[in-house]
Amino acid sequence: MHNFMTKTNSNTNRDEATQDTEFSPRVPVTAKTNLKDIRIATDATISPDGKRAAFVVSEWVPEMPRQRARIWAVKTDGSSEAGALAKGTRADTYPRWSPDSQQLAFISRSEGEKDRPQVHVMAAEGGEARQVCKMPNGASDLSWSPDGKYIAFLSVDGREPVSDPKIFTPGQGRHRRLWRVRIDSDTPEPVTPDGQSIWQYAWAPDSEQFAVFFANGPDQTDWYRGQIGVVMAHGGTIRQVGQLTRQASALTWSPDGSRIAYVSGEWSDPDRGGGDIYVHSFSDGETRNLTPGITCSASWCCWYPDGQRLLFVAWEGVGYKVGVVNEADGTISTLMQDRNIGDRFWPHLSTTSDLQRFVFTSSDRHPPEVWLGEITHEGGVLTSSNRKRLTELNPILKDTLELAHTERIRYESADGWQIDALFTQPLKHKGDTLPPLIVNVHGGPSSAWSDDWDNYRSQMLAAAGFAVLRPNVRGGLGRGATFSDAVLGDMGGKDFQDILNGVDYLIGQGLVDGDRVGIMGWSYGGFMTAWAVTQTTRFKAAVMGAGICDFHSFHAQTNIPDWDMRYLSNGVISPAEQPEIYRERSAITYVNRVKTPTLIVHGERDDCVPVNQAYAFYRALGEQNVPTELVVYPREGHGLNEREHIGDYQDRLLRWFEKYL
């Protein structure tokens, strides 16, 4: 594999400021640090002419319980400071440039609670935005046609179901249809028929067709059985191409429209994941895996103008990778490896048509900034790349926070596999004693920890005197399909051994106190936390966030029952056919073993992992006289979004570990 060194542009004047400790004393991270005076950049997109980048900035503002999102822009030559283009009162998202770089489309939702997000367009320089059309249920996922005449978007069909009483009928949910609207019109046109849901789509180069990832069912869980198809841009039936056995994303057409490439794998979370890169040919109907055996997890790809190579981004270890794969022979050249790329749950780039310039968001120890990357070609051969930072959104945090050191480590686990992890040392050691350790297990399991700012959460724990281990256990992303698939039929098995071996490694290195170890996690990490305290007593404190404890009742109430049917076995099972597997892999089956004090936190409106999981484990622990506490946050779903709730959770987290470790 070739490797092209990446250099930071030395001419940029936006490097981190030099710290003068005499006048700017450093302060540690607290439970309130990430809840004020902070800006987070996401969804960066470059204009086709390469002169501007638009992106979303989320920030806390007074008297708003959730972060406000606005569209910002910056010139890529660094001649101006980044600033807000639109001044929406509620939420502006999904900025997308017109092909001529003269207009910017985006999704905006106004102040009213019942107002739906709608498609808007404004001039590239900013100014008054115009609502293009009005959809009864709002719009999302917009995209310009290559010829600039249309904007496509997704919208849910049908009226919102009544809530009194709530009525559930199989297959009678609301589908997500693909629409398009002329830029000079206000009348949207349906592209796909009723009765099918579109999860992702991509315009063909001639603007005459779409490639879509679609499902015949209306529900979130139907995504797991989705297929790839093609539909005419003026509307019609979807023609399925190929036969997927796993999920797909990141659809992209070859320049001549004869092939489509996409990323596919077995994933836990709808509409995102990492895996191998496939190409489907329309001429012969064949589908080919370009990256069999690759030791990273591709998440996004895009064709070069020559139609012979694809640029891609992938999770790799605890970082990311940008590379090029040759369609003919599958050879891979690496462009960048030392920089976090793209938004956390979907590493990707936004490129100019020649793929020589691109923008992306990236974070290191602080919140994400927007970066510009450039690639140099000589005689058609990639020779080098460079990058420069375009924004500086949080200068005060960079200049004033005192941060603990985080180290990338690798240790051996079950089957001799090497496990990548991040180890954050306490900010200050207390006396000569070794520090207590907290293991933080990531969600998914189709996810991975990366060496980024982590919402300052690891730093918050480190400032309180804890060491933090974030292991990328098998079943996650970043090490290829074999590594990701290892969790199928073995949740709580060797992935749990990966956690224990990481703890043993740190103890063996003399870095932590083996008698004071805690564990925490959210979603799949919450499941692993519940599982851990039922399998061993070595953890002295635990915090279970939005976790599963009983797969039977989870399957009955979750909006993604296909997930447990696919992940609890190497095949597709059901609790009716194999109830013993559901019992065997449920932490509540072994609750009489638990001795570990366990804090349980959950969102009241969590459709993914219903709150009954929290109530069940809390009741079971209480009946076993295990110290426990249950905190249910109103209005919250599978993650916490309200400022007061996030602050409460972080404060409780600290107090729980301080009490029991």
b/e code 164-177 from CB counts within 10 Å (16+ = b): eeeeeeeeebebbb
Classify residue 55: in a domain, yes or no. no
pLDDT at position 17 over 70: no
pLDDT at residue number 20:
45
Q: Give a yes or no: residue 480 inside a domain.
A: yes
Q: Does the predicted model carry a pTM greater than 0.85?
A: yes
Domain count, the chain: 1
pLDDT band at 114 (very low <50, low <70, confident <90, very high): low
- The CATH number of the domain where 530 resides is what? 3.40.50.1820
Rounded Cα–Cα distance for residues 537 and 596 (Å): 7
Per-residue pLDDT reduced to its tens digit, 203-231: 999 999 999 999 999 999 999 999 999 99
The confidence score (pLDDT) of residue 378 equals 64
Cα distance between residue 106 and residue 114, in whole Å: 19
pLDDT at 336: 84
Mean pLDDT of 604-618: 98
Confidence at residue 357, expressed as pLDDT on a 0 to 100 scale = 94
Mean pLDDT of the chain: 93
Q: What tokens appear for 555 in the block?
A: 């399957």
CA pair distance 49, 34, nearest whole angstrom: 35
Count the Cβ atoms, other than its own, within 10 Å of residue 266.
18
Q: How many residues does the chain have?
A: 661
For residue 522, is it within any domain? yes
Please report whether residue 46 resides in a domain.
no
Q: For residues 340 and 478, what is the distance between their CA atoms, to the nearest angstrom? A: 13
Give the mean model confidence (pLDDT) for residues 596-604: 98
List, for residues 98-108, the tens digit of each pLDDT value: 999 999 999 99
Q: Which domain holds residue 471?
A: 402-660
Task: Determine, yes or no, domain membership for 313.
Answer: no
Q: Would residue 622 count as lying in a domain?
A: yes
**Each residue's pLDDT tens digit, 538-579:** 999 999 999 999 999 999 999 999 999 999 999 999 999 999
- pLDDT tens digits along 423-462: 999 998 878 899 999 999 999 999 999 999 999 999 999 9
Please report which confidence band the pLDDT of residue 160 belongs to, taking 50, 70 and 90 as the band edges. confident
Residue 21 is predicted with a pLDDT of 44
- The answer to whether residue 459 sits within a structural domain is yes
Tens of pLDDT along 324-377? 999 999 999 888 887 788 787 789 999 999 999 999 999 889 999 999 999 876
Q: Does residue 439 sit within a domain?
A: yes
Contacts of 434 (CB under 8 A, 6+ apart): 510, 511, 512, 513
DSSP state string for 426-495: -SS--TTSPPPEEEEE-SSSS----SS-GGGHHHHHHHTT-EEEEE--TTSSSS-HHHHHTTTT-TTTHH
Helix, strand, coil % in the chain, rounded to nearest 5: 20, 35, 50
Q: Measured between alpha carbons, how far is 180 from 358 in angstroms, rounded to an integer? A: 27
What one-character DSSP code corresponds to residue 650? H
Residue 127 has pLDDT above 70, yes or no: yes
Angle between helices 524-535 and 494-508 (to 10 degrees): 70
Provide the pLDDT for residue 229. Answer: 98
- CB distance 575 to 648 below 8 Å: no
What's the rounded Cα separation, in Å, for the pair 485 and 494? 12
